[in-house]
Each structure stands twice: as structure tokens, then as C-alpha cells.
Amino acid sequence: MKSKAAVKRIIETLKGLYPEGLCSLQYEKDYELLFAVRLSAQCTDQRVNQVTPALYARFPTLESFAEADPKEVGEYIHSCGFYNGKAKDIVLCARQLLADFGGKVPGTMETLTSLPGVGRKTANLILGDIYGQPAYVCDTHCIRITGRLGLTDGSKDPLQVERQLREILPPKESNNFCHRMVLFGRDTCTARSPKCEGCPLAKDCDASS
């Protein structure tokens, strides 16, 4: 595992590269972020951001989503892939938010993961972005890059990676760190042909040594 000094250097370098460290998904209402994350499964954030404006215009309230026909929702999100399952989850999620939580997106891991289509990755993102809690969003970028850097042991299991990151990342840095992992994974540490030459994290990266 990395030394505390190396972890701090990585965090600070990423802060310099991406000062804001924001989620790439666009939303105005809390539940819109919840739905957008569901749509982003095996789909790019860019594609989701292209789809959601028309989706939210057609279904402008949580109640309208709860009353929607999943087939119609699916027509709006078709290009995101796996649209039948995603549409069903969104409609059922809207209904459960209204029935069980008064229309409010809940703020605990247990309650969030009780919602249709919501796993730990989504729940962590909601807890971090909406509730400002420490959050460890272990998506494919985060899992790949933290393994290459040596921040984790290279496990591909999201829960295992989350546990390891909780041990080394300061809680206050965790949420923005994971957002920066996504941005860095798109720009530099790509899945194929990463740009190792000139990488600002090279000196602290196990894969480049």
C-alpha cells in the first residue's frame, strides 16, 4: 500500500488538475441525479446528459415518473442501452420514493440500496453529492486507476476496492477524489493505451515503475 505522503501527493495533484472535482452528470433535482446514475450504467455520462433533458421535460415531476408507462420512458432512454430494465427501475423507484420517503431521496446507504436499481456505487454518489457525506464511488475508472497506482491491491471487486480506499483516503477528500478519478480516466489513464509518458502521477504509480 502507498505511504501517507504518496497518497497526499496523488490527492493534491488531482486537485490541481481538476479543481472542482464535480460529477459529470447534469441534474437539477435530487431524484434526477439518482435516475441519471441508473442510466449511466454501461453508458457514458455524455450520452446520459444528451438524453435526460427531453426525459425530464416529458416527465417534469416525480409523480409523473411514478405514473409513467415504462415503455414510454424506455423510448426516451433507448440510446443509453438496457433501456427496458432501466425504465422499469426508474418508474418503480419513483413510486417507492413517493410511497416510502415522501418524495425525498433518502440519505443512508441502507435506505438508498433498498430502491430498485440502486447499488452501493449509486448510493455512495448520492450520499456524497447530495448529502455531503464521505463517499467512495467505485466505478470502472476508480477501480482501474487506483489499482494501477497501487492505492488498492488491484482487486476488481467494487466492495473490496471501497474498503481499501476507506482505509487510506481522508473522508473529506473521498467524494471529490472519486469524481477526479473519472475525469483522469477519460483524459489520461484510459482503459486502453494509457498516456503514461508525461503522466503527472507517474512518480507515484506502480504501473509506471
**DSSP label of 41:** T
Q: What residues contact 157, with CB distance under 8 A and at least 6 apart?
A: none
Catalytic, out of 30, 89, 129, 139:
139
Give the largest Cα separation in the chain, rounded: 55
157 is catalytic: no
Catalytic, out of 86, 121, 129, 204:
121
DSSP of 145-184: HHHHHTSS-----HHHHHHHHHHHS-HHHHHHHHHHHHHH
Q: Which of 22, 119, 117, 108 is nearest to 77 (CA)?
A: 117
Q: Which of 169, 192, 182 is nearest to 10 (CA)?
A: 169
121 is catalytic: yes
Q: Show which residues are catalytic.
A: 121, 139
